[in-house]
């Protein structure tokens, strides 16, 4: 049996599967990844922008960066990797899709049980009172402020130095602990706490599979590491389910 055949067999027999996705899953939709050869961070250094201190000091620059990404994301569509995950979800009694992506493409493709670990770029909230606000901000007209407390409105995403939403993290950790099959898909597996989820799954007895274009720190710990494009490998797999 090849490794792909073993993975197909594991999917067919899984009662409870968890998948952790990262920027690599949306790459084929035209959204650049953060790290790696074609990564955004080679060009821009948004780690300096994606934190609350940077936002308070330079809200205009941070908003410009997010407005650019919002425009880009509005124009793209889910790709074969997203649709393959929708098909896999239909076949397995319990399925949790944990994503670090903030682009909404899993929901758009039809995935149902999605946990957004890092928020959603299309949502906004007040930096002071946390009140969510509508998406239709006219950023060209100046910085947006909270109608309730007057604080600055910010993108509702998790920035460096911030904690994840506790509900989302709890759901993700429970899914990792309870699944019998865990797939790490298109993520550099570097950013905590998401990076610990595959190890948590494995420590609780799950079969661990990774699909990535290149080796990551996780690869040597997996039961199966499939090197290649998520969209290609997963769409092939769905033909056999």
Over the chain, what HEC string results? Answer: CCHHHHHHHHHHHCCEEEEEECCHHHHCCCCCCCCCCCCHHHCCCHHHCCCHHHHHHCHHHHHHHHHHHHHHHHHCCCCHHHHHHHHHHHHCCEEEEEECCCCCHHHHHCCCCEEECCEEEEEEEECCCCCEECCCCCHHHCCCECCCCCCEEEEEECCCCCCCCHHHHHHHHHHHHHCCEEEEECCCCCCCCHHHHHHHHHHCCCEEEEEECCCCCCHHHCCEEEECCHHHHHHHHHCCC
Stretch that binds ligand APR, among 1-9, 70-78, 185-193, 200-208 (CB under 6 A): 185-193
Number of residues that bind ligand APR (CB under 6 A): 24
**Binder to ligand APR among 7, 229, 237, 238 (CB under 6 A)?**
229
Question: Which residue in the list 58, 82, 106, 118 is annotated as catalytic?
Answer: 118
Stretch that binds ligand APR, among 68-76, 148-156, 170-178, 224-232 (CB under 6 A): 224-232
Stretch that binds ligand APR, among 6-14, 53-61, 187-195, 198-206 (CB under 6 A): 187-195
Active site annotation includes 106: no
Q: Would you count residue 191 as binding ligand APR (CB under 6 A)?
A: yes
Residue 173 interacts with ligand APR (CB under 6 A): yes or no: no
Under the binding rule (CB under 6 A), the answer on residue 226 touching ligand APR is no
Radius of gyration of the chain (CA): 18
Q: Is 119 near ligand APR (CB under 6 A)?
A: no
186 binds ligand APR (CB under 6 A): yes
Smaller CB separation from ligand APR, 62 or 146: 62
Our finding on whether 208 is near ligand APR (CB under 6 A) is no
Q: Does 218 bind ligand APR (CB under 6 A)?
A: no
Binding site for ligand APR (CB under 6 A): 22-24, 27-28, 33-36, 39, 100, 118, 186-188, 191, 211-214, 216, 229-231
Which residues are catalytic, by number?
118
């Amino acid at each position: 049996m090849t490794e792909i055949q073993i993975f197909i067999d594991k999917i067919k027999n899984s009662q409870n599967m968890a998948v952790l996705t990262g920027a690599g899953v949306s790459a084929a939709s035209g959204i650049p990844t953060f790290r790696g050869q074609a990564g955004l961070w080679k060009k821009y250094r948004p780690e300096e922008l994606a934190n609350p201190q940077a936002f308070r000091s330079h809200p205009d620059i941070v908003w410009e960066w997010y407005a650019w990404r919002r425009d880009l994301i509005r124009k793209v569509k889910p790709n074969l990797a997203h649709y393959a995950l929708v098909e896999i979800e239909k076949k397995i009694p319990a399925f949790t899709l944990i994503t670090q992506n903030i682009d909404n493409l899993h929901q758009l493709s039809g995935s149902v049980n999605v946990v957004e670990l890092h928020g959603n770029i299309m949502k906004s909230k007040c930096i002071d009172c946390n009140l969510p606000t509508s998406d239709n901000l006219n950023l060209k007209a100046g910085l947006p402020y909270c109608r309730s407390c007057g604080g600055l409105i910010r993108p509702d995403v998790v920035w460096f130095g911030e904690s994840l939403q506790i509900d989302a993290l709890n759901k993700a950790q429970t899914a990792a602990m309870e699944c019998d099959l865990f797939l790490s898909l298109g993520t550099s597996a570097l950013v905590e706490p998401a990076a610990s989820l595959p190890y948590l799954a494995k420590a609780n007895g799950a079969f661990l599979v990774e699909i990535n274009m290149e080796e990551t720190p996780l690869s040597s710990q997996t039961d199966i590491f499939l090197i290649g494009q998520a969209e290609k490998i997963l769409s092939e797999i769905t033909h056999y389910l």
